[in-house]
Structure 1
């Protein structure tokens, strides 16, 4: 099992200890460091700034929102960071949701699957640098010929030669169609709130994508990176209680009423009544009560919390369910070392 440090996105200000966490993760044998974005800090800049002090770990986005930048601009970010890191960059992409896409970026959210397919295709054309990049699709036409166009646009190739034409692209996906699309066109799946119990269902979605004509990968060389809070502790109930407010936020506050993809994940897990209660309380401004309405068993399904031996056994179970990387958030350097000590022996045993 590989480990990735999930730095996430910032709150009101940058985290003060991020450089120490990144350094500790590399020293502890973590495979990667990831950064995210919502509607504040971006995902690329922290990797360039804090990643400059690393030499081995992969640097990935989990995720950058497609509506935040055009495919060509995203490819420019990716090829730049790949050069600066010596070929260690992983481009994680996601569509976000209508509240952010239409409310923050001022872009239409419709047809997210078609937009994703077209976006990834353009990014790959830029990275391949085989010919000037053009696109006839309706979402990202190149050259642009719509309203306001001067008609002077021309297809271009990137001035900078990309370091890797096959730079890995992973997709953040939650629903069956998006997960199947990831298996078809991407190099990995960024899973949020993965539950090993539902691995057979995920496998069906993935197999649909792998079975499509011209699928890019097979099960054997496709990466599944699951966001999972891993905490080594003798007081699991207290830690799970500490994690509940964030779960409540994603169920009740990180999506539009009637279209919250995170809430749908928990509904598929069988927690439909919980989702309804948490959503109602959160949207009424009763956030503490919403967190209290999240049951312990739900948190236990999507996290790994316990003693070293318990964590070790759970990591093996997640790996058996198909997960190749755990993306973990750690509060301090001691937590990073504890997670590494608990997880790495599993890998040694399996070898």
Structure 2
């Protein structure tokens, strides 16, 4: 079991104490650090800035949103950071949801699986640097030959800069069965959110379907499963649950729409269908305090590591037995980072 530090995306202001947490993470044997993006701070700038102060941590995005950058732009950022870090970069990608893709980036959300497959292939072609990068599309045609304003003068190109590694690992964020199966087929790792060891058997079925496909890139033996998890070492479990209850309500009720919310779908698979319906209805009607109250304790707790040090150590063992190779913890203080280093 490895440890990763998930710094996430910023809220109204940048987080405090990150340099100190990174020092503690390296000294405590953490394997990696990750940044994220939603519709505020981006993933790559903080990763490069903070990563410059590290020596051993792998530097990952969890996740960089597909619609934020064309695949060639993402590949440029990745090969650049990989050089600057001496080969420590992990490319973490995700499609986000239609509310962000169409509302923030002004792009179409349709066919997320096909877009992901094409995107990953182009990124790998750039990093391989075996020739000019071309793609028939339909989502990312290179060169672009038709469309309003297209001159027809586009030229197939390959990167000027030689990548340090042609095989920078690509991990994909995925929540549904088809997406997880495709992740096992085409990626080097899975970025799991709201993971619960209770459903490990279901996840294994999805993953095994992908591993069994012709041309699958990895097998279970060399595939990484990195699960984001909140971790609170405390004697007051109830207070810790209350601390993260608003986050659960937000993702279930406020992220996405009534018609399409991948996080809500995930919690439905966990068996919280009625709670999801109640939380969503209350949240969307502006009754946020009531939405928080509708979140069952166990709905928060089973995707967390929470309790005394001994209890958290026991929980970590369950996650490892379920197949998780990296715990991507959202610790927000040096004490928790160091304590986790002692437990793993």
> How far apart in 2 are the matches of 1:81 and 1:217?
24
Q: Which residue of 2 aligns with 1:198?
A: 199
> How far apart in 2 are the matches of 1:207 and 1:255?
29
> How far apart in 1 are the matches of 2:298 and 2:257?
26
> How far apart in 1 are the matches of 2:293 and 2:331?
23
CA shift, 1:288, in A, is: 2.1
TM-score by length of 1: 0.97
Q: Which residue of 1 aligns with 2:139?
A: 139
> How far apart in 2 are the matches of 1:196 and 1:27?
28
Q: Which residue of 2 aligns with 1:231?
A: 232
Q: Which residue of 2 aligns with 1:348?
A: none
CA shift, 1:6, in A, is: 0.5
> How far apart in 1 are the matches of 2:246 and 2:84?
37
Q: Which residue of 1 aligns with 2:167?
A: 166
Q: Which residue of 2 aligns with 1:106?
A: 106
CA shift, 1:16, in A, is: 2.3
> How far apart in 2 are the matches of 1:339 and 1:231?
10
Q: Secondary structure at the match of 2:216?
A: coil
Q: Deviation string for 1:283-324 (max 9, x for gaps)?
A: 112222212211111112111101111111110100000100
> How far apart in 1 are the matches of 2:296 and 2:6?
24
What is the 5 A alignment of 1:247-262? 247-262=248-263
Q: Deviation string for 1:199-222 (max 9, x for gaps)?
A: 110000000000000000000000
Q: Deviation string for 1:117-152 (max 9, x for gaps)?
A: 000000000000000000012000000112111111
Q: Secondary structure at the match of 1:159?
A: coil
Contact 1:67 1:107 (C-alpha < 8 Å) held by counterparts = yes
Q: Secondary structure at the match of 1:228?
A: strand
TM-score by length of 2: 0.98
- What runs of 5+ residues in structure 2 fail to find an aligned partner? none
Instruction: Say yes or no: does 1:46 pair with 2:28.
Output: no
Instruction: Say yes or no: does 1:314 pair with 2:306.
Output: no
CA-based RMSD of the aligned residues comes to 0.8
> How far apart in 1 are the matches of 2:267 and 2:305?
17
> How far apart in 2 are the matches of 1:186 and 1:177?
14
Q: How many residues align?
A: 343
- What runs of 5+ residues in structure 1 fail to find an aligned partner? 345-351
Q: Deviation string for 1:64-89 (max 9, x for gaps)?
A: 00001100000001000101110000
Q: Which residue of 1 aligns with 2:289?
A: 288
Q: List structure 1 runs of 4+ shifted beyond 4 angstroms.
A: none
